[in-house]
């Protein structure tokens, strides 16, 4: 049986919504993008939501708004997809990498130790869809001693008066970060990714959730950021296309990172059924948990803790005592059965570019440990129970074979 790793969810309603956009006469940023923003806002409870063309550009837009400069530092986990740190580098600042915990997420104590007067932001990442400890991270940046260390370098930084918390919620749309509270509303800024492999997708896309404290007004900030995402043009193309509305101005140096309606349509049709899609992800997660919790060699990924609950984006299985070589061999054997698996993630300090910048994996022992024995199994709503059983069998067989070699 051939089981792909993470195919996008495209049913008739997704196709109908895209066709509707194509036939409407308006295909770039307009009513569908606005409707998607409203759906995401309603789902996660953020004060304002702006859709852009990727997580990466959303993070860059927020760093530009924050007035980040060379010499500034942003704390990120070593264990994440590279975009988390690349967005920081692209904006001229330095990603300060810290180690992760046993649950794959950034260690709050490690964040505390990494804070310097140059720290302008911290990017916790909800790995696999399991939320970070936002309460502890927000408390940390509000501590009087930590605030006293903060050196604002822009008006926005001065108004905030402390380190910005921007959560990389690329994986965690629909997850709970506290009892009954969805991710996206408990950090200053949260950015979801709507990339093709994510739980809800627009092929390429991202959603910026705004929850900044006073004196910021999140509705005003939405308008400002929307303009920034359109090259700082005072009128978007949709408004300008109306008869007589031709005149516009450019009021600054923005970015061109808006989402097109033809993309938004895909996500719009998906998010309308997301509660059901999410419920099936949870079922698949539990089928894996049931099977692997009975194996003394397996470490099942976190699902629920202290009111937090995963969006089940990735099923990150770990094999006790395995090193990279045996993990790689196990992947080879599983793949031979037609089951596509993956590794999340190769820690950034192991990748050439980050090595060339001086990062060393030896400084992140837990990230390395998590990585070296990890295998991500297929998890998505289209999987049948039969396919899940097939994955489980392939993984168990592969383990036995590796052990017998
Ligand atoms: C997918 C992903 C991103 C990047 O998302 P894009 O929309 O492709 O820019 C960032 N962080 C994490 C953890 C991701 O998995």
Closest residue by Cα to atom 13, ligand 1, is 81
Please report the pLDDT score of residue 60 as a whole number.
98
Q: Which residue has the tokens 């089940």?
A: 312
Please report the pLDDT score of residue 65 as a whole number.
98
What value, to the nearest 5°, has the Cα angle with vertex 164 and ends 163 and 169?
A: 140
Q: How far is the CA of 315 from the centre of ligand 1 (A)?
A: 17
Q: How far is the CA of 240 from the centre of ligand 1 (A)?
A: 32
Name the phi and psi angles at 378, rounded to 5.
-60, 135
Q: How far apart are CA 190 and CA 353, in angstroms?
A: 26
Give, in order, the Cα–Cα distances in Å from 51 to each of 132, 220, 354. 23, 15, 29
Q: How far is the CA of 335 from the centre of ligand 1 (A)?
A: 25
Cα distance between the two ends of the chain: 25
Q: Could you tell me if 249 and 301 lie in one domain?
A: no
> Is 2 part of a structural domain of the chain?
no
> Is 210 part of a structural domain of the chain?
yes
Q: Could you tell me if 330 and 204 lie in one domain?
A: no
**Ligand 1 nearest-atom number relative to CA 194:** 7
Q: Could you tell me if 65 and 88 lie in one domain?
A: yes
95: domain CATH number is 3.40.640.10
Q: How far is the CA of 314 from the centre of ligand 1 (A)?
A: 13
Q: Could you tell me if 289 and 264 lie in one domain?
A: no
> Is 174 part of a structural domain of the chain?
yes
Q: How far is the CA of 167 from the centre of ligand 1 (A)?
A: 12
* Residue that is last in its domain, among 232, 247, 271: 271
- The three-class DSSP label of residue 74 is strand
339: domain CATH number is 3.90.1150.10
CB atoms within 10 A of CB 304: 10
Nearest to 379 by CA among 294, 282, 250: 282
Q: Could you tell me if 167 and 285 lie in one domain?
A: no
For the full predicted model, state whether its pTM sits above 0.95.
yes
Closest residue by Cα to atom 2, ligand 1, is 170
Give the domain extent around 193: 12-271
Q: Could you tell me if 213 and 283 lie in one domain?
A: no
Adjacency order of strands within the sheet including 315-319: 298-299, 315-319, 374-377
Q: How far is the CA of 193 from the centre of ligand 1 (A)?
A: 6
Residues in contact with ligand 1 by the CB-under-6-Å rule are 54-56, 80-81, 83-84, 125, 168, 170-171, 193, 195, 206
Taking the C-alpha atoms of 185, 191, 196 and 199 in order, what is their torsion angle to the nearest 10 degrees? -20
Q: Could you tell me if 165 and 310 lie in one domain?
A: no
Please report the pLDDT score of residue 137 as a whole number.
98
Farthest-apart Cα atoms in the chain, separation:
76
> Is 3 part of a structural domain of the chain?
no
Please report the pLDDT score of residue 349 as a whole number.
98
**Ligand 1 nearest-atom number relative to CA 83:** 10
> Is 307 part of a structural domain of the chain?
yes
> Is 1 part of a structural domain of the chain?
no
112: part of which helix (H) or strand (E)?
helix 108-114
- The three-class DSSP label of residue 142 is helix
Q: Could you tell me if 130 and 158 lie in one domain?
A: yes
Name the phi and psi angles at 273, rounded to 5.
-115, 20
Paired with 374 in beta bridges are 318
**Ligand 1 nearest-atom number relative to CA 59:** 9
Q: Could you tell me if 300 and 398 lie in one domain?
A: yes
Give, in order, the Cα–Cα distances in Å from 115 to each of 19, 120, 254, 385. 49, 9, 29, 46
> Is 4 part of a structural domain of the chain?
no
Please report the pLDDT score of residue 1 as a whole number.
79
For the record, the structure tokens of 44 come out as 């996660």
Closest residue by Cα to atom 5, ligand 1, is 55
**Ligand 1 nearest-atom number relative to CA 195:** 7
Q: Could you tell me if 104 and 216 lie in one domain?
A: yes
Contact of 40 with 264, CB cutoff 8 Å: no
* Residue that is last in its domain, among 271, 300, 325: 271
**Ligand 1 nearest-atom number relative to CA 197:** 1
For helices 261-271 and 274-293, angle between their N-to-C axes, nearest 10 degrees: 60
What string of DSSP letters covers 231-267?
TTBSS-HHHHTSTT-----B-S---B-BPPHHHHHHH
Q: Could you tell me if 180 and 224 lie in one domain?
A: yes
Number of domains forming the structure of the chain: 2
Q: Could you tell me if 123 and 21 lie in one domain?
A: yes
Tens place of pLDDT per residue across the chain (405 aa): 799 999 999 999 999 999 999 999 999 999 999 999 999 999 999 999 999 999 999 999 999 999 999 999 999 999 999 999 999 999 999 999 999 999 999 999 999 999 999 999 999 999 999 999 999 999 999 999 999 999 999 999 999 999 999 999 999 999 999 999 999 999 999 999 999 999 999 999 999 999 999 999 999 999 999 999 999 999 998 998 888 989 999 999 999 999 999 999 999 999 999 999 999 999 999 999 999 999 999 999 999 999 999 999 999 999 999 999 999 999 999 999 999 999 999 999 999 999 999 999 999 999 999 999 999 999 999 999 999 999 999 999 999 999 998
Q: How far is the CA of 374 from the centre of ligand 1 (A)?
A: 19
> Is 134 part of a structural domain of the chain?
yes
* Residue that is last in its domain, among 271, 304, 337: 271
Q: How far is the CA of 181 from the centre of ligand 1 (A)?
A: 22
Q: How far apart are CA 347 and CA 350, in angstroms?
A: 6
């Amino acid at each position: 049986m051939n089981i792909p790793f993470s195919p996008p969810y495209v049913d008739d309603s997704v196709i109908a919504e895209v066709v509707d956009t194509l036939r409407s006469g308006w295909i770039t940023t307009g009513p569908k993008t606005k409707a998607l923003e409203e759906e995401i806002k309603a789902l996660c409870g953020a004060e304002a939501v702006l859709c852009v063309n990727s997580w990466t550009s959303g993070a860059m837009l927020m760093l530009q708004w924050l007035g980040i400069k060379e010499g500034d530092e942003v704390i990120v986990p070593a264990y994440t997809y590279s975009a988390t740190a690349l967005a920081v580098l692209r904006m001229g600042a330095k990603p300060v990498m810290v180690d992760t915990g046993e649950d794959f997420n950034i260690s709050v104590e490690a964040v505390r130790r990494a804070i310097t007067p140059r720290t302008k932001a911290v990017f916790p990442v909800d790995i696999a869809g399991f939320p970070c400890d936002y309460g502890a991270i927000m408390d940390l940046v509000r501590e009087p001693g930590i605030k006293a260390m903060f050196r604002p370098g822009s008006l926005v930084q001065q108004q905030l008066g402390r380190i910005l918390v921007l959560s990389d919620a690329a994986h965690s749309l629909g997850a709970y970060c506290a009892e009954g509270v969805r991710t996206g509303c408990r950090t200053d800024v949260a950015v979801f990714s709507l990339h093709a492999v994510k739980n809800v997708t627009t092929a390429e896309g991202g959603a910026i959730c705004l929850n900044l404290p006073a004196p910021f007004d999140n509705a005003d900030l939405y308008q400002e950021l929307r303009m920034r995402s359109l090259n700082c043009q005072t009128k978007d193309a949709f408004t300008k296309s109306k008869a007589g509305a031709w005149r516009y101005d450019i009021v600054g140096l923005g970015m061109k990172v808006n989402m097109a309606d033809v993309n938004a349509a895909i996500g719009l049709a998906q998010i309308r059924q997301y509660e059901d899609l999410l419920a099936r992800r949870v079922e698949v997660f539990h089928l894996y948990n049931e099977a692997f919790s009975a194996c003394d060699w397996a470490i099942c990924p976190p699902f629920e803790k202290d009111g937090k609950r995963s969006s089940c984006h990735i099923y990150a299985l770990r094999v006790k005592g395995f090193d990279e070589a045996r993990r790689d061999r196990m992947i080879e054997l599983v793949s031979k059965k037609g089951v596509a698996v993956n590794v999340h993630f190769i820690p950034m300090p192991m990748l050439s570019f980050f090595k060339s910048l001086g990062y060393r994996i030896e400084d992140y022992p837990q990230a390395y440990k998590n990585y070296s024995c990890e295998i991500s199994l297929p998890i998505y709503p289209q999987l049948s129970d039969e396919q899940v059983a097939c994955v489980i069998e392939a993984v168990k067989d592969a383990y036995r074979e590796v052990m017998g070699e």
